[in-house]
Amino acid sequence: MKLPNYVSGEWKEGTGAGEPLVDPVTGEELARISSQGIDVGGALEYARSNGGPTLQKLTYRERADLLGKIADVLTANRDEYFRICLLNQGANQADASFDVDGAIYTIKYYAKIGRALAEQKILKEGAEIPLSKTNVFSGQHFLMPAKGAAVFINAFNFPAWGFCEKAAPALLSGVPVVVKPASPTAWLTQRMVEDIVKSGTVPAGSLSILCGSARDLLDHVREGDSISFTGSADTATRIRSHANVLRRSVRVNIEADSINSAILGSDAAPGSDVFDLLVKEVVREMTLKAGQKCTAIRRVLVPRQFMQAAGEAIAARLASLKVGNPRNPEVKVGPVVNKAQQAACVEGLKLLKQECTVLFGGDEGFQPLDADAQKSAFVQPTLLASKNGLDAKFVHDVEVFGPAATLVPYDNTAELIAIARRGMGSLVASIFSNDANFVREVILGIGDLHGRLLVVDSSVGSQHTGHGNVVPNCLHGGPGRAGGGEELAALRAVLLYHRRFVVQGPPSRIGDLAAMSADASILYS
């Protein structure tokens, strides 16, 4: 079976043998994808000239209603998405839910909050600015939806959520979507697009999908388009520096890889509730989706005197979790997505082992439950300990995109801050402490290099949203190595798909436009 692309309003199979999509538990081929022979430039032009104008005839409220209908279609097909997650990712119910239910929730969320933009077509930003002594000439800033395409190049680990968290603000803005999912897990995104298109919910040209290699996609983007990329920092650099992207100043949002930290305060001694909360969260982050989350905890920064206790507590929990075929109900941890990712994890762990000791796991010959170790793509959950945090190199640099984390000791708050900053820009850090002064000092020390800081103390207990969980009403993204992008944060997400301009002229002309505008301050409310 070769999965067809949906471009220029038609389902089209790519030519050639294509790339296989496999079951990471059995190694069996499930389907093939190919973008060969697809007119990628034509697909973008079709989206711009058909999808964009039709979507932009609608008001924000009408497009929010459209998102509501998309959410209904996805909800109706939820079981099929879980089946595909199991087959193509080895995802158990919890893993699949994180992606699929997260996707549906995010679309529903934008359907709800998008209605606040009401029956308008553009946004008015700030107050009118007098520019003449007699008030016959003034200025006003506006934001209008871009007349281009929203091009998504996505990572393999969130084929559902990664598509929906970007599609919701783009479609709400009236900008047509062209999504290129990562090849290994393209099936789920392809199926979601198929369900939406076949339901007749979206106007022609407003949703397209290209499966397989991006090929010459970036050669055809232009000034009105927006690229939203999620993936590794290496690919991000290639996209950001592409000659056509640079020449035409195409807006680019990058969500890249990240060395995130969980931080334990010295007040949170072993046996305390806050210590236990950190241990629980680290294990959850290492094992949910087999650690294949951009936000997962990679470094666990603990006071040196608690290193041994933290290592033992995390290792004990890891030892209690069965790793193997998710079709076995006892299994809690599944495989990574394919053999290539398994090999990348093994290579990364080899580097970490050069400067760390292994406290748990790390066995390359490890035998998963109910799966053939030769055919499957499992990585044994692995906990390491760094000997000296600040002097380490790989711990702060190598992202093992699987079930792995490293304990890193610190001796004082200044050193802790310096260690956390060695991540060179991260999506998230979580701070586990009841000490208000410590929490404040850490936030002020690392806030500029992190997109999100999660603070957990005894008053919060287990009622936090989760270190690795991205909620649509808060910012997702991070500076530096994490890509420098910004996504979600409620209605702020539409800014990527709008363009700011100022009109300078007679107040009456400005008033005409202002009358058809929603107030942009609502984006920040």
Which structure tokens are listed for 34? 């190919």
HSE toward the beta carbon, residue 137, CA cutoff 13 A: 4
Beta bridge partners of 331: 322
| 338 makes contact with ligand NAP (CB under 6 A) | no
Q: How many CB atoms lie within 10 A of CB 53?
A: 14
**Known active-site residue 165:** no
What separation in angstroms does the CA of 462 have from each of 160, 394, 431, 454, 455?
27, 32, 14, 12, 11
Task: Give me the catalytic one of 85, 294, 345, 356.
Answer: 294
From the list 23, 99, 257, 486, which residue makes contact with ligand NAP (rule: CB under 6 A)? 257
Q: Is 255 a catalytic residue?
A: yes
Site for ligand NAP in 351-390 (CB under 6 A): none
β pairing state of 29-33 and 19-22? antiparallel
Q: Which residue is nearest to ligand NAP (CB)?
A: 231
Q: How far is CA 473 from CA 98, 101, 106, 113, 308, in A?
A: 17, 16, 9, 10, 38
Q: Tell me phi and psi for residue 122, to 5 degrees.
A: -135, 180
Please choose, from the candidates 255, 59, 280, 265, the residue with its C-alpha nearest in 3D space to the C-alpha of residue 157: 255
- E strands present in 9-112: 10-12, 19-22, 29-33
Residue 482 C-beta: closest distance to ligand NAP, Å = 6
Residues 6 or more apart whose Cβ sits within 8 Å of residue 481: 233, 256, 257, 258, 259, 423, 424, 425, 426
| Segments in 90-213 forming alpha helices (H) | 93-114, 161-173, 186-198
Taking contact as CB under 6 A, which single stretch among the options 130-138, 256-264, 315-323, 435-443 is the one that binds ligand NAP? 256-264
Give ∠ CA 389-393-397 in degrees, rounded to 5: 105
Task: Give the binding range for ligand NAP (CB under 6 A) out of 93-101, 140-148, 152-160, 455-463.
Answer: 152-160
Q: Are 426 and 451 in contact (CB under 8 A)?
A: yes
Given the complex with ligand NAP, which of 267 and 399 has the nearer CB atom? Answer: 399
Query: With CB under 6 A, what is the number of residues at the site for ligand NAP?
Result: 28
At residue 380, what are phi and psi to the nearest 5 degrees?
-70, 130
From the list 213, 244, 357, 469, which residue makes contact with ligand NAP (rule: CB under 6 A)? 213
* Given 23, 95, 125, 255, the residue binding ligand NAP (CB under 6 A): 255
By CB under 6 A, is residue 187 in contact with ligand NAP? no
> Do you know the residue count of the chain?
525
Tokens linked to 84: 């595909």
Q: Tell me whether residue 237 or residue 328 sits nearer to ligand NAP (CB atom).
A: 237
Q: Which of 95, 399, 457, 486 binds ligand NAP (CB under 6 A)?
A: 399
Binding residue (CB under 6 A) for ligand NAP from 54, 97, 120, 232: 232
Candidates 5, 92, 140, 183; binder of ligand NAP (CB under 6 A) is: 183
Binding of residue 163 to ligand NAP (CB under 6 A): no
Using rule CB under 6 A, residue 98 touches ligand NAP: no
Binding mask 402-441 for ligand NAP (x = CB under 6 A): -------------------------x--------------
- Report in angstroms how near the CB of residue 183 gets to ligand NAP at its nearest: 4
Site for ligand NAP in 462-491 (CB under 6 A): 482-483
If you write DSSP's letter for every residue of 115-151 in order, what string do you get? GGGTT-SEEEEEEEEE-STTSS-EEEEEEEE-SS-EE
Cβ nearer to ligand NAP, comparing 54 with 213: 213
Q: Which is nearer to ligand NAP, 67 or 427 (CB)?
A: 427
CA–CA distance, 387 with 424 (Å, rounded to integer) = 20
**Smallest distance, ligand NAP to C-beta of residue 490, A:** 17
Q: Minimal distance in Å, beta carbon 53 to ligand NAP? A: 27
Q: Is 394 in the site for ligand NAP (CB under 6 A)?
A: no
Q: How far is the CB of 478 from ligand NAP (least distance, A)?
A: 7
| Interface pick for ligand NAP out of 43, 84, 227, 239 (rule CB under 6 A) | 239
Which is the catalytic residue, given 255, 281, 399, 486? 255
159 binds ligand NAP (CB under 6 A): no
Output the smallest distance, CB 65 to ligand NAP, in A: 28
> Residue 228, interface with ligand NAP (CB under 6 A)?
no
| C-beta separation of 253 from 420 below 8 A | no
Q: Closest distance between ligand NAP and the C-beta of residue 338, in Å?
A: 10
Q: Please select the residue that binds ligand NAP; options are 8, 201, 226, 235, rule is CB under 6 A.
A: 235
For ligand NAP, the closer CB: 35 or 413: 35
Sign of CA dihedral 195, 197, 198, 203: positive
- Nearest-angstrom CA–CA distance, 230 and 228: 7
Cβ proximity of 150 and 175 under 8 Å: yes
**Alpha helix segments (H runs only) across 321-435:** 339-355, 413-421
- Considering only 46, 81, 158, 438, the residue that binds ligand NAP (CB under 6 A) is 158
Q: Do 500 and 141 form a contact (C-beta atoms < 8 A)? A: yes
Q: Are 424 and 480 in contact (CB under 8 A)?
A: yes
Site residues (vs ligand NAP, CB under 6 A): 153-158, 180, 182-183, 213-214, 218, 230-232, 235, 238-239, 255-258, 294, 399, 401, 427, 482-483
The set of catalytic residues is 255, 294
